[in-house]
Amino acid sequence: MVKAKAWYRMGYLFEVVLITAGLIVLLQHPFHLTANSWLLYLFGTALMALSVVFPVTLPSMLISLELVFTFYFVMTYDIATALWVNFLGELVGTLLLAHKSRKMAIFTNPALKVICLMAGYLAYSLVEPVLLANNMEYGSKVVKLFIVGIVFFVFNHLIIHVNLFLRQRHFSIRTGLNAVMWESFIYLAVFPLAMLGDLLERHLGAYTLLVIAVPVAAVTSVIRTVSHLQWSNRVNYACIQLSMAKDLSTIYQKTFHIAHDLTDARQVMLLKKLPDGSYQGLDDRDEVLVENVRHELLERAIRERNVISVPKVKGSLELFPDWEARSYILVPLVGKTEVFGVICMGKPHSFGFKQDHQKQLGFLANQVSIILDRNHIYEELERAAIINQLTGLYNYQYFYEQLDCQFQQAKTTGEDLCLIIFDIDYFKKYNDIYGHIVGDEVLRQVAMIAKSVCVQHGVLLARYGGEEFVAIGRMTMTQAYELGEEVRRKIQDHQFVYQEHTVKNITISVGIAHLQEHDALSPSDLLEKADQSLYWGAKEMGRNRVAVYSSEFDQRLFVDALTGLHTIHYLRRKLRSLCENQTHFPMHFLLVDILGMRTINDQYGFEVGNRVLIDVSYLLKNTMRGDDLICRYMDDEFLVVVKGIPECDLGIISKRIHEAFAKHSFHHVGHVAIDLTVVTLGSADEEPVLLERIDTARRSYSGKQIV
């Protein structure tokens, strides 16, 4: 394999030979500036230079209609005049663009034109005697135009592509065919205008050049407009397709292809910005090429939100040494609030990207950034819909969807499926002592610890209720038990600190149920069995332990042993069937919280406290209707479910409850105050998030409170 420097030297040597050959041809055809020809040289050189300075930018080439003047001189004047005017015009135009092109090109481009013209003249010389012998004076001019033009076309493309191959070390057939197509299109305009100039020359002389300059400018403008419209339409069409894409990889891939086609860049890479501020390099298949990329050019592109072109790569401007690129262009993808990354493209020669490339890529970047911004917002909304804001875990609704899906799959395939419930022991006590802000921090830290363990085992973790978390995964009973023990130990050993508060002795209880081993009939049945193991196997056996489901728990699940009321587990099981009856809506959930229960327990003891809870249960039973469902929700909270009552009647029910408590005198305690909060279920669609709403209302009393 030839090394890069060797290739570059070969390209350099090829250009030196080209320049030398061009100068030799010129010196063999000296020109004589006369009083009648100076205006011709002036107009011809100026118009050709202007055509060079204002070309039309295409992905792999620049095109202009300077050939109109080239072939006009071929038809109308002698060979020396044609060669020198073309050489001078190309030289002046390239000098004017010296700051935007390689220095070698100042002499390479004029020499190339001289050699191609000379090749055309030599080809024409073979048929010229035959034409003159038949007195075909004007016909010989037309033949000369076509022969010189065709030979010029062939030699020009041959030499250019050989030179590009030597300098860039690759050849693209698609790029070459695209260049030939555009050049053929240009010739359709060039030949007629050159012939028109030859007809007008006998009447206008040198001023003919000014006349044909008008249609040249018009056609150039049309080509530029068509080219811009073509790319704008392609970008717009691509953006319509991108707007329907939801995943980022599809958007990035399509953007890659458009940017590559627009510039014909040899190297293209997406530098995706990571949270730590570095960039990750991806190819068009979304595969990682480089990691931990950092560079001031990338930060500048993001900061300025503009396409940045680096025409000559030197020293600190080099991004990727392996690319051997001599020019870069950086396209930032920046939304209103999010930085997505930078598309970086490189070419192996200096000044590979033109101003038009910057404009078109800028338009593309703006469109893609809008699409990425919109997709980012959609992703955030979708994420917010399934993520619990406090803990960052999946919410209750998403968990139920995954539970149904995984249950059916495991049932069909016979694979293991375990469900684990974690519950923080005495969490309400910590809330009462330290307040809800510290309680929320405890929830967050417990969630973080549990998640770190579950992620390692490929287990899905969600927040299930107030202080409950639930995990589901393809595990054997032994694996689930080990996972539960690992989470329990880590939480037991963890020091919970928040600001100036240190919360000690945080523990959890864990319940486990297995689909096959415990013969779960449905997703809700599996959940209930895990619930039973949590409360009867772990909570009732002293807490801070892991328990596995046993059939003896079934009869103890739905009735609270102290009050004789239904448990929250019964409500969970009953809720779906309640929601199936439309006459139950609106359904109201009255959360009755006994105030000062901790003080009662401290002053009078737990026996008196338990007696108060029993009396409250009897008081609620006697106050509410016979078909109202009453549950013990937490240690000192009760939940009353009232079905099919208009919201305006809630005031009457609330007043009835408050009056009952105001009239009742509790043994040893006297009167007990309560807080009453209402959460309303308007339709069955709201059922999956009901318990989260009740928990939010319980902690913050931000729901409708009736006093």
* Active site amino acids: 467
**Run of H or E including 476:** none
Tokens of 659: 């009056």
* Contact residues for 685 (Cβ-Cβ < 8 A; gap 6+): none
Classify 499 as helix, strand or coil.
coil
8 Å CB contact between 123 and 147:
yes
The HSE-up count of residue 288 (CA atoms within 13 Å, CB side) is 8
Taking the C-alpha atoms of residue 681 and residue 666, their distance in angstroms, rounded to an integer, is 33
- How far apart are alpha carbons 678 and 707 in whole angstroms? 11
Contacts 24+ apart (CB under 8 A), 610-615: 610/562, 611/666, 611/667, 611/668, 612/666, 612/667, 612/669, 612/672, 613/562, 613/563, 614/562, 614/563, 615/664, 615/666, 615/667
End-to-end, the C-alpha distance of the chain in Å comes to 87
Cβ pair 662, 433 in contact under 8 A: no
Give me 454's structure tokens.
């579950």
DSSP state of 538: I
Pairing of strands 508-514, 546-548: parallel
- Torsion 676-679-680-681 (CA) sign: negative
Helix/strand/coil for 123? helix
Residue with tokens 């959360």: 591
Residues contacting 703, CB < 8 A, separation 6+ = 677, 678, 679, 693, 696, 697
Asked if 441 contacts 435 with a C-beta cutoff of 8 angstroms, the reply is no
Contact between residue 676 and residue 658 where contact means Cβ atoms under 8 Å apart: yes
- The length of the chain, given as a count of residues: 707
Cis-peptide into 688, omega within 30 deg: no
What CA–CA distance (Å, rounded) separates 490 from 614? Answer: 37
In angstroms, the CA 534 to CA 467 distance is 13
Peptide bond preceding 586 in cis form (omega within 30 of 0): yes
**Count of CA atoms in the C-beta half-sphere (13 A) of 140:** 16
Map residue 269 onto helix, strand or coil.
strand
Taking the C-alpha atoms of residue 484 and residue 531, their distance in angstroms, rounded to an integer, is 14
CB 450 within 8 A of CB 505: no
Phi-psi region of 596 (alpha: psi -120 to 50; beta: other; left: phi over 0): left
Q: Are 358 and 329 spatial neighbours (Cβ–Cβ below 8 Å)? A: yes
Contacts of 287 (CB under 8 A, 6+ apart): none
Q: Which two tokens stand for residue 96?
A: 């004017």
Helix residue ranges per DSSP H, 54-104: 66-76, 79-96
Q: What are phi and psi of 496, to 5 degrees?
A: -85, 110
Burial (Cβ within 10 Å: 0-12, 13-18, ≥19) of residue 129: exposed
